[in-house]
């Protein structure tokens, strides 16, 4: 599904990723943990195509397609979804209209028929119910007036509507209380736990992994993967810190 090989990337001329390699197969959930400044968010931005993040070496493919050669909207159409640590607010833009336009833009790129208004509303209600999000909230401007937990749940609704092949979720647990964490974790499972889909979870804490059991946990430090294990590795990090595996 996702194949990253010897990836090097810089921001403002400063090297951040320094030879990162990672393989995520279809049907797998991988978690990446690591100290601040290790390159976790940089990895997500590089995969998503954020301007200002320069790839200086290496490759990244999604389903055999060269991800780095595509513009961000084409990466999304190819099946990539990027969940942000801090979802942005877009005043004046209806969330429900934003979601319908995004879904139909991707469907057009894939050669599919656009969703009618009725079809879209049925889909949106289904996905909102999964995340226990009131449909009335989706009639507001994008994320405006939303709490941190509501923004993350709305983002998961967006993921459900867009139906990506591969989701990169950058600290989705940030700002979530206990109830929202459980709801979001279950939402990830309901939407993405499929044989033809994969997830890369970037997190600081083990708590989200109680709900979304990863197949593999990786430690990212100094711009590369330094340790890989199963879910037990996350518990070790929680108990002993990163020095236990990076020293």
Tell me which of 132 and 199 has the higher pLDDT: 199
The Cα–Cα gap between 159 and 205 comes to 22
pLDDT score for 195: 94
DSSP line for 165-216: SEEEEESTTTT--HHHHHHHHHHHHHHH-STT-EEEEE-S-SGGGGTS--SE
What is the average per-residue pLDDT within 155-171?
92
Please give the helix or strand (H or E) that residue 65 lies within, else none: strand 65-66
For 93-147, write each residue's pLDDT tens digit.
999 999 999 999 988 888 889 999 899 999 999 999 988 888 888 889 998 888 8
What is the average per-residue pLDDT within 8-30?
94
pLDDT score for 59: 95
What is the average per-residue pLDDT within 183-203?
91
- Rounded to the nearest 10 degrees, the angle between the axes of helix 148-162 and helix 117-130 is 130
The Cα–Cα gap between 139 and 119 comes to 17
What is the average per-residue pLDDT within 44-73?
92
Dig out the tokens for 165 from the structure: 């092949």
Q: What strand order describes the sheet that includes 198-202? A: 80-83, 166-170, 198-202, 29-33, 216-221, 224-229
Asked if 7 and 60 touch (Cβ cutoff 8 Å), the reply is yes
Output the average pLDDT for the chain: 90
pLDDT score for 236: 86
> How many helices, marked H, and strands, marked E, lie in the chain?
8, 12
Q: Tell me, rounded to whole angstroms, the distance of Cα 113 from its chain centroid.
A: 26
Q: CA distances (Å), 8 to each of 16, 30, 34, 55, in order?
A: 7, 20, 17, 6
Quote the percentage of the chain above a pLDDT of 90: 53
pLDDT score for 247: 63
Say yes or no: domain 2-246 is CATH 3.40.50.300.
Answer: yes
For 228-246, write each residue's pLDDT tens digit.
999 888 888 888 888 777 7
Nearest to 191 by CA among 81, 116, 48: 81
């Amino acid at each position: 599904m996702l194949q990253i090989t010897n990836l090097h990337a810089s921001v403002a001329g400063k090297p951040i990723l320094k030879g990162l390699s990672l393989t995520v197969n279809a049907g797998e959930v991988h978690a990446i943990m690591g100290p601040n400044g290790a390159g976790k968010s940089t990895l997500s931005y590089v995969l998503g195509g954020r301007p200002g993040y320069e790839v200086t070496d290496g490759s990244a493919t999604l389903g055999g397609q060269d991800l780095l050669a595509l513009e961000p909207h084409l990466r999304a159409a190819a099946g990539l979804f990027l969940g942000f640590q801090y979802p942005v607010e877009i005043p004046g833009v209806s969330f429900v209209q934003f979601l319908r336009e995004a879904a139909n833009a991707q469907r057009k790129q894939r050669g599919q028929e656009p969703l009618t208004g009725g079809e879209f509303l049925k889909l949106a209600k289904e996905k909102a119910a999964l995340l226990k999000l009131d449909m009335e909230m989706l009639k507001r401007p994008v994320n405006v007036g939303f709490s941190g937990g509501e923004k993350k749940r709305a983002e998961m609704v967006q993921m459900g509507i867009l139906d990506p092949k591969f989701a990169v979720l950058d600290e989705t647990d940030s700002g979530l209380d206990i109830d929202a964490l459980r709801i979001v974790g279950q939402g990830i499972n309901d939407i993405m736990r499929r044989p033809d889909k994969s997830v890369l979870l970037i997190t600081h804490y083990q708590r989200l992994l109680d709900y979304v059991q990863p197949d593999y946990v990786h430690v990212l430090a100094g711009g590369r993967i330094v340790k890989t294990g199963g879910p037990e590795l996350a518990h070790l990090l929680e108990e002993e810190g990163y020095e236990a595996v990076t020293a």
